[in-house]
Chains A and B, each alone.
Chain A
Amino acid sequence: MTGEKVLEIHHLSKTFGTNVVLRDIDFSVNAGDVTCIIGASGSGKSTLLRCINLLETPTTGEILYHDVDITDRKMNVPSYRTKVGMVFQSFNLFNNMTVLENCLVGQIKVLKKDKEEARKKAMMYLEKVGMAPYINAKPKQLSGGQKQRVAIARALAMEPEILLFDEPTSALDPQMVGEVLAVMRTLAKEGLTMIIVTHEMAFARDVSSRVVYMAGGVIEEEGAPADIFGNPKKNSTKEFLNRFMQG
């Protein structure tokens, strides 16, 4: 399974009005890859991730998921999204539901699983992220780090093939960042295919199998983390990393 291409992006571009956000993006993801996308704010990282999940519609280009173009009009978008989960910067837990219900609703309403099976699965993933004792809490009663861990459990409960993380720790304080990254590290070890937009350089360096550096809507450089962080080829990459390491 590992090594097989699951996602291929060809000539992807995205414009908002006259503002070009993504320009001719080409990249692919293999099963088991942990890809970290780094870059300055406004470089198009999040938009790229949102295009992969079709929360934004790409202007041109194609996104192949197992060789099927998902930007095709006839594509069943909701069923594609069950296979490509997403974790957001602002958690986006359903405020009207408890922690457990958050992890159940997708399984029951979308995947049509029966309640007992869904509950078992939800509990399994909630235990994995260390949130099992909080199943009766509402999102507003949790801290940011706890919310994000529930959000990860909610995404995992759908058993997606790829999990997208859109700056999962940017809204958290340093202590909470640690607890969320710890969960993500575990997932990476278990071989889940992940694409992570992040500003956590140490995390990107240690955990990812590949790092993509984006600037101005294009992929400037990509490669193994050791190469990108240890020996960047382009000056813009060097400058960006220097600024980060100093800051």
Chain B
Amino acid sequence: MSLPSDFFGRIVFILQLYGPSFLSGAGKTMAIAIVGTFIGCIIGFAVGIIQTIPVIKSDNPIKRFLLKLLKFILNVYVEVFRGTPMMVQAMFIFYGSSVLFGINMSTVFAAYFIVSINTGAYMAETVRGGILSIDQGQTEGAKAIGMTHFQTMVNVIMPQALRNIMPQIGNNLIINIKDTCVLSVIGVVELFYATKGVAGAYYTYFEAFGITMVIYFILTFTCSRILRYWEKKMDGPDSYDLATTDTLAYTSGMVKFPDPKEKEDK
């Protein structure tokens, strides 16, 4: 089989020959991006919650010191991982772990690990912002019925903060889909690495990377649409049904039907 002379012919030729390569590369890219974003979110939520625990003067000194120390360490984590390129972190962690500690990570494990902690650092700030964006009154309302800081966070603040930061989580996922390509430096066979191999075989860089461009765009665009749909679902329905718990309620005039004009506005 020889390489066709026209552009589209070459594309079809490459797809026929290397289609599975592209697919497995895209699969790995998505796996790393989704797992990395998911674990990163969990890290981000944990760090974000800890960062917003108030240091109360009346607490005992040891507890206050430990809390401050923990916050300091987490701050260092956030600043270091936000402040250095992921590509450099990948090299540093992958080779450093084997030189310093004798740990031989598989490249795939290293990929999950690096994307997760990197996303975690960004998400920590996002979550902190999300928590700060919730009106103080919500916290007071929760405290007034006797909730602890933890209960307030889990039941009241986080669900609202999560809704507010959904666009940013989507942003992170899309950034991760694209940025996994830097992991090719440690030999992770994701979409970019796979494409390089394909392109080199017949020296068809333009065609191969053309295909890859389209694949990346399809991945990110699909994800952003799915997330948008998910956000809408989180908002719940615009209207509500009046419950008929008490059939006498209607005759005793307790029910006020919502103004139809108001419904139209929404």
Q: Which residues of A pack against B, CB within 8 Å?
A: 53, 55, 57, 73, 78-82, 85-86, 88, 90-96, 98, 105-106, 109-111, 123, 127, 130, 132-138, 141, 151, 154-155, 158
In the complex formed, the residue of A with least CB distance to B148 is A78
Closest chain-A Cβ to B135's Cβ sits at a distance in Å of: 8
Closest chain-A Cβ to B53's Cβ sits at a distance in Å of: 15
Contacts of A57 in B (CB 8 A): 58
Is the beta-carbon distance between A86 and B146 smaller than 8 angstroms? no
Is the beta-carbon distance between B146 and A110 smaller than 8 angstroms? yes
Given contacts A92-B140, A109-B151, contact A79 B242 (CB under 8 A): no
Contacts of A123 in B (CB 8 A): 245
**Complex: how many Å from CA A78 to CA B143?**
7
Q: How large is the interface on B (under 10, 10 to 19, 20 to 34, 35 or more residues)?
A: 20 to 34
Whether a CB of chain A sits under 8 angstroms from the CB of B137 is yes
Is the beta-carbon distance between B145 and A95 smaller than 8 angstroms? no
Given contacts A106-B146, A110-B151, contact A94 B156 (CB under 8 A): yes
Is the beta-carbon distance between A138 and B244 smaller than 8 angstroms? no
Contacts of B143 in A (CB 8 A): 55, 78, 81
What are 25 A-B residue pairs whose CB atoms fall within 8 Å in the complex? A53-B144, A79-B146, A81-B143, A82-B146, A86-B140, A86-B144, A90-B137, A92-B138, A94-B155, A96-B163, A106-B145, A106-B146, A110-B151, A123-B245, A127-B245, A132-B246, A132-B249, A133-B255, A134-B243, A136-B242, A141-B239, A141-B240, A141-B258, A151-B141, A158-B146
Closest chain-A Cβ to B152's Cβ sits at a distance in Å of: 10
Mask, B217-249, CB within 8 Å of A = 1, is 000000000000000000010011111111001
Is the beta-carbon distance between A138 and B240 smaller than 8 angstroms? yes
Contacts of B159 in A (CB 8 A): 96
Contacts of A136 in B (CB 8 A): 240-243
Closest chain-A Cβ to B96's Cβ sits at a distance in Å of: 43
Q: Which of A73, A78, A96, A135 is in CB contact (< 8 Å) with B156?
A: A96
Is the beta-carbon distance between B246 and A127 smaller than 8 angstroms? yes
Closest chain-A Cβ to B54's Cβ sits at a distance in Å of: 11
**Complex: how many Å from CA A81 to CA B239?**
34
Contacts of B142 in A (CB 8 A): 94
Contacts of B243 in A (CB 8 A): 132-136
Is the beta-carbon distance between A110 and B249 smaller than 8 angstroms? no
Contacts of B148 in A (CB 8 A): 78
Q: A81-B144, A133-B254 are in contact. List 10 more A-B contacts (CB 8 A).
A: A55-B140, A92-B137, A105-B156, A106-B147, A109-B151, A132-B246, A135-B243, A136-B240, A136-B241, A155-B144
Is the beta-carbon distance between B147 and A78 smaller than 8 angstroms? yes
Closest chain-B Cβ to A172's Cβ sits at a distance in Å of: 15
Given contacts A94-B156, A136-B241, contact A154 B137 (CB under 8 A): no
Is the beta-carbon distance between A133 and B242 smaller than 8 angstroms? yes
Closest chain-B Cβ to A11's Cβ sits at a distance in Å of: 19
Closest chain-B Cβ to A125's Cβ sits at a distance in Å of: 13
Is the beta-carbon distance between A94 and B141 smaller than 8 angstroms? yes
Contacts of A127 in B (CB 8 A): 245-246
Contacts of B236 in A (CB 8 A): 138
In the complex formed, the residue of B with least CB distance to A86 is B144
Determine which residue in B138, B141, B239 has the highest number of CB atoms from chain A within 10 A of its CB, and name it: B141
